[in-house]
Amino acid sequence: MRVQVGDIRMFFDVEGAKLRPDGWKMREVPTVILLHGGPGFDHSNFKPDFSRLSEIAQVVYLDHRGQGRSDRADISKWNLPQWGDDVRAFCEALEIERPIVMGVSFGGMVAMSYATRHPEHPAKLVLASTCARMRPDRSLDVFEQLGGAEVRRAAERFFANPGKETLPDFEKKAFPVYNRTPMGPEFTARSVTNFDLTYDFFRNESKTFNFLSDLSRIKCPTLVTSGTRDPITPLADSQDIAAAIPREYARLETFEGAGHGAHRDEPARYFKVLTEFILS
């Protein structure tokens, strides 16, 4: 489905009803908006793992501006402030009130943009395997720990010159150490991708954005999750996020031995923690 959001049409999909029969009345459940990673990918890699949340919530999958099945739009608007504002505008278009917004990886950066620019809007946040600023030095060290010098060099080349010349080697050598549970070929094969946006983000905004000083604006319970073996957004990044959010709102959960997207490596514990947070 697509809906007009400002100057573009955004694609979204939904699992689970908002109102559910409960005896003599209809019971309302929370709405969880899932913001995908990449950048340049789409929501497809949340499926089927996150379908289980539809038992307790209405699950909304959203493709960001310029990505997936949403309009490509004006390249000048491929930036975190705009992506954050799009989340708020999307909710207004569909009259979604007090959402629980979960961002994974790049989606977590969008979630931080949204929550710091519109702090009164979300009911709760989940910031999963993400960072408030990119620290290639940290990533390169973990890539080397997990895969050796050759993997480090592939990551260095991509970070230094993101493009079609360096991405294939990065995918071949670095992707396999992202997780203990390997990502299958369907991870990219079934996605509607926009690698031009990927390259643009890593060449430009990835080098300048920094939410750490803004995270004090967050005014809702926030679950920060991280695997201890995450090479692209290392545990230290999540620790920085949790430390920057007001203490009464922040909760950091670490998953020993898990990689990027801890739900892939520790699904039983991850979804137990996530479910309890949503229902709390």
Measured distance CA(4)–CA(47) in Å, rounded: 24
For 107-158, the pLDDT digits (tens) are 999 999 999 999 999 999 999 999 999 999 999 999 999 999 999 999 999 9
Looking at domain 2-133+193-279, its CATH class is alpha beta
For 13-72, the pLDDT digits (tens) are 999 999 999 999 999 999 999 999 999 999 999 999 999 999 999 999 999 999 999 999
With contact defined as beta carbons under 8 Å apart, do 241 and 132 qualify?
Answer: yes
Q: What pLDDT band is residue 182 in, cutting at 50, 70 and 90?
A: confident
pLDDT at residue 167 is higher than 90: yes
Residue range 146-173: mean pLDDT, rounded? 97
Q: What is the pLDDT of residue 187?
A: 79
Measured distance CA(192)–CA(187) in Å, rounded: 10
**Strand runs (DSSP E) across the chain, as ranges?**
2-5, 8-15, 19-22, 25-28, 31-35, 58-62, 100-104, 124-128, 222-227, 250-255
With contact defined as beta carbons under 8 Å apart, do 253 and 224 qualify?
Answer: yes
Q: Which residues contact 60 (CB under 8 A, 6 or more apart)?
A: 12, 13, 14, 31, 32, 33, 34, 96, 99
Q: What is the pLDDT of residue 186?
A: 81
pTM: 0.97
Measured distance CA(249)–CA(110) in Å, rounded: 19
For 222-248, the pLDDT digits (tens) are 999 999 999 999 999 999 999 999 999
- Token pair, residue 60, equals 């909304």
User: Structural domain boundaries of the chain?
Assistant: 2-133+193-279
Measured distance CA(207)–CA(159) in Å, rounded: 10
pLDDT at residue 200 is higher than 90: yes
- Token pair, residue 149, equals 């010098």
pLDDT at residue 189 is higher than 90: no
Measured distance CA(20)–CA(139) in Å, rounded: 44
Q: Which residues contact 224 (CB under 8 A, 6 or more apart)?
A: 126, 127, 128, 238, 241, 242, 245, 250, 251, 252, 253
pLDDT at residue 274 is higher than 90: yes
When the pLDDT of each residue in the chain is averaged and rounded to a whole number, the result is 97
